[in-house]
Chain A
Amino acid sequence: MPTLETPYYREIDHEVTTCELAWRERLPLLLKGPTGCGKTRFVEHMAARLGRPLITIACNEDTTAADLLGRHLIIGGDTVWCDGPLTRAVREGAIVYLDEFLEARADTLVVIHSLTDHRRRLMLDRLNEELLAPAEFMLIVSYNPGYQLGFKELKPSTRQRFLAVDFTYPEPEVEAEIVVAESGLAADRAKQLVKLAGKIRNLKHLGLSEAPSTRLLVGAAKLMQAGMPPRLACQIAVVNALTDDPEIAQSLQDLANLHF
């Protein structure tokens, strides 16, 4: 049940329903999409909506299996087992979110295999223990397909364990609605911001390496709402965030100046 603290999320294409169904059917979920398009917010929203605690693990190339599962620590003269975040999530029946899942090494990812099929078990070799995940437990992972160098892809054996939801930047009207809801900015200004983002995203097809995310727009909108002049807000929240190249920055600022 949505509570007062449920973080704002605007459904775009049945993803909320999908996630609820997946949770009920005990199926793991894969979210893919560019940075700042709302993946993390979506997961926070779903956890609140489903009334489950959320455990987020940001993966990087040094993430090991022990980082997920847990390890023995030596405290004083004693040896104490300490649960890793994944183990804790399974014990508590939480929703666990592995962000930038692909960044972790391939051998690390294997530990989730037994958790993502019909077994729903976590093997804790060090403890010689098998944990059965409760019905409330859910695994959600995310990755950004454009971000990797190209060959860092999911192995089919891992990938096919997940239902997959594709996230993109929302349609202009919806994106404006999100910007308004997040920042309280007047609707016409939010629309201009979204228009500007659309034009900058055009440049991405033509060679700009980063596209402005919805998150960036919300940042700019918050600055404007707080009284910062719009052109300056665009410069600080959008232009400077996208490029270090003075010439590209100049062109982006030109674009912003057309819109505000």
Chain B
Amino acid sequence: MIKRERNGKRPEKPGFVPEEAAATGLGKILDFDLQFLIWQGVHKALKWVSRDPAERRRQQAAASLDETRERLQTLARALSGLPLLLRPTTALPGTDGRHLLLPSQAAWFEEESDNRRVLLFLTVILAEAARLGFHGGGDRQPPTDPAAWADGVLLGYPGLHAELALHRDAEAARRARDPEATPALAFRFLARPDALLAPGDATAATPEAIDGSEAEAPIQESVSRTTVDKEDQEANTLMHNFEKVETLDEYKGLARDFDGEDQLDDQLEAMQELKLTEVIRVDETVHSVYRAELLMTDGIGDMAGEATGGIPYDEWDPAKRAYRKGWCRVFPGKLDARDPEWAAERLPELAETIRHLRKTLEKVISATEQLRRQPDGPEVDLDAAIENRVRLNLNEPPLSNLYLDRRRRRRDLAVLVLVDLSLSTDAHVEGKRVLDVSKDSLLVLSEVFAHYGDQVEVAGFFSHTRNQVHYQTLKRFDEPWAPLKAAIGALEPMGYTRIGPALRHATRQLLKTKAKHRVLLVLSDGKPSDFDRYEGRYGVGDIRQAIREAESQGVHMHALAIDSQARDYLPQMLGSQRFAILKHPGDLPEALGAFFIRLMRR
């Protein structure tokens, strides 16, 4: 509670909700809140009066980056051909080759269209700078006169000529009023990646609106990890916690609730001021995810020590371009937990999707599973009948197989659905937990395809370092679908995402089948993570290699993802044809079903 008085700028924030949830004594809060609200009102009024009218108009006409961020990001990606991410900043806009830092609010002009135009221009200029490598990681020297260069970039697009003229007029008018003002089109290329993290820059970034319970952090450069095991947690002694240190702290081992209640909204602002360079990883399910972009520069150590048991799999080291022999251990298992209630609860909501998919499937089946020239069947095979007549006319022996039948044909197709069970699936997209969406999808699958072949295996994976990659089978090939439902219900997120070994093990399962066509379908955002180094380029490199191995053995991989993060990972692993990232999480069950139907139609 002390925080509010101390932190004077906090009440300005629109939409701020006093943190009733976090407080304890009700009477005290009411009392305090009354004072607080009065103070807030007075403060606002004073600010309003003290503002000059032009400033007020500019604030009203401000263009917020949030509204156009997706649009501008797609534009930047198209212009540069790079998977750029747009991030807000309150300092000078810039790029590091991976991110474009744009002002969170453009409020230079009194017309909104003028402000909006500056965001567009900055996006075009910085995307070009990123493409040409005018930044820290880039291999080219930035132009000596950036302003002239940027003008050239904008003039390169005829569609911008008229816009540029409008901008110049607005800018001239602004400079006439205030010759001291920084040009609206001021920006910089970043000489070194760490320039991105200059204090005025990263920590000043505005968080995006919270949706569900996930918030994004300002970009951080490095992270060091502390692993806390159960024993340490229990051995924690009671210590005093200050304010924002309640769920995150800057050094290891402070006593705290390991992700207890969900207070993400309240803590977000405090987090913005916190330097997130140390992260504690524990074995517990999280309730809120505070997501930070990490720019990894220094390497993270490997896990020392040899494991025993499990099935050894090689891992690809992209830097050395060589396998690390037997580096990972995969522990296959059968998921024993069951929750029979869950499916019954979820089915009503999914009924419409299931009905729709069944209908589509029926059509496909009746078209492709038609057996021609059968000795018996519900319909006459017209082609055969005509040919028979022809034969009779030509005095040839007649045909005896004149019917169409719809018998089930054994497909030469085996599909393995591999589900990401790691803690990252505990995150929320549009208010839905990622794993819950995967579970819904599997349930729909089991309902729709139960009668059409059982050459499907369903398995999940998660990891705790290279020595413990868990591969848990929910339904094996040849097993009936029915028991799957209860197993799906019992799925809970756990561990980390070492995808490579899981893919290799799944590939091996597929190769054991006799099917001619083998398809591996992964439900994951494809973002590698594990305690020991399995991140960034290393992780992506290994996953790509695992996919290449699968392809070379005739196993075709596809991926479905709902997290927008997937856009940063799947394309570089799978190429453009073989993954789908769904705009809305609710679309996944339908998309998974549709994918299977396309396989059947083949």
Chain A residues in the interface with B (C-beta under 8 A): 61, 66, 71-74, 77-79, 146, 149-152, 192, 199-200, 202-209, 231, 245, 247-248, 250-251, 254-260
Contacts and interface: CB of A to CB of B under 8 A. Distances in A.
B75 to A, nearest CB: 5
A185 to B, nearest CB: 14
Contacts of A72: 386-387, 390, 394
Contact of B77 (A78, A206, A250): A206
A259 B78 contact: no
Contact of B78 (A79, A209, A251): A251
Contacts of A146: 576-577
Contacts of A231: 159
A250 B577 contact: no
B551 to A, nearest CB: 9
A173 B268 CA distance: 51
A68 B529 CA distance: 54
A79 B159 contact: no
B394 A79 contact: yes
B78 A192 contact: no
B159 A199 contact: no
A131 B576 CA distance: 44
B17 to A, nearest CB: 30
Contacts of A192: 158
A245 B578 CA distance: 19
Contact of A260 (B75, B159, B567): B159
Contact of A202 (B77, B567, B598): B77
Nearest to A247: B70
A74 B386 contact: yes
Contacts of B393: 74, 77-79
B448 interface: no
11 contacts: A71-B387, A74-B393, A150-B578, A202-B81, A206-B81, A209-B576, A209-B577, A255-B79, A257-B159, A258-B157, A259-B157
Contacts of B567: 206-207
Contact of B79 (A199, A204, A247): A199
B71 A151 contact: no
A192 B156 CA distance: 10
A199 B578 CA distance: 21
B57 interface: no
Given A203-B74, A206-B567, A207-B576, 5 more contacts: A149-B598, A206-B77, A206-B576, A258-B75, A258-B124
A135 B158 CA distance: 54
Nearest to B70: A247
B25 to A, nearest CB: 47
Interface string B180-212: 000000000000000000000000000000000
Most chain B Cβ neighbours within 10 Å, of A149, A152, A248, A250: A149
A208 B157 CA distance: 23
B217 interface: no
A228 B491 CA distance: 57
Interface string B542-556: 000000000000001
B318 interface: no
A150 B160 CA distance: 41
Most chain A Cβ neighbours within 10 Å, of B78, B158, B160: B78
Contacts of B78: 199-200, 202-203, 206, 251, 255
Contacts of B576: 146, 204-209
B126 interface: no
Given A74-B390, A151-B519, A209-B576, A259 B556 contact: no
B602 A248 contact: no
Interface string B342-376: 00000000000000000000000000100000000
A258 B602 contact: no
Nearest to A152: B602
- Sorted from nearest, which 10 A-B pairs have the closest CB atoms? A251-B74, A202-B81, A72-B390, A79-B393, A150-B556, A258-B157, A199-B78, A151-B517, A258-B159, A203-B78
A256 B157 CA distance: 10
A140 to B, nearest CB: 25
Contacts of A248: 74
Contact of B583 (A202, A245, A256): A245
Contact of A207 (B160, B518, B581): B581
Interface in B58-85: 70-71, 74-75, 77-81, 83
Most chain A Cβ neighbours within 10 Å, of B83, B159, B579, B599: B159
Given A206-B571, A209-B576, A259-B157, A254 B70 contact: no
A245 B566 CA distance: 18
A73 B383 CA distance: 10
B432 interface: no
Contacts of A205: 81, 571, 576
A168 B368 CA distance: 33
Most chain B Cβ neighbours within 10 Å, of A199, A207, A248: A207
Given A74-B389, A150-B578, A245-B583, A260 B158 contact: yes
A172 to B, nearest CB: 14
Contacts of A71: 386-387
Given A78-B393, A205-B576, A259 B158 contact: yes
B287 interface: no
Contacts of B583: 245, 247
A77 B393 CA distance: 9
B558 interface: yes
A206 B159 contact: no
A260 B160 CA distance: 8
Nearest to A151: B517
Contact of A206 (B70, B83, B368, B387): B83
B115 to A, nearest CB: 17
Contacts of B517: 151
Contacts of A203: 74, 77-78
B390 A79 contact: yes
A174 B583 CA distance: 36
Contacts of A257: 159
Contacts of B71: 247, 250-251, 254
Most chain A Cβ neighbours within 10 Å, of B383, B558, B577: B577
Nearest to A250: B71
A102 to B, nearest CB: 11
Contacts of A200: 78
A259 B599 CA distance: 40
A255 B75 contact: yes
Contacts of A260: 158-159
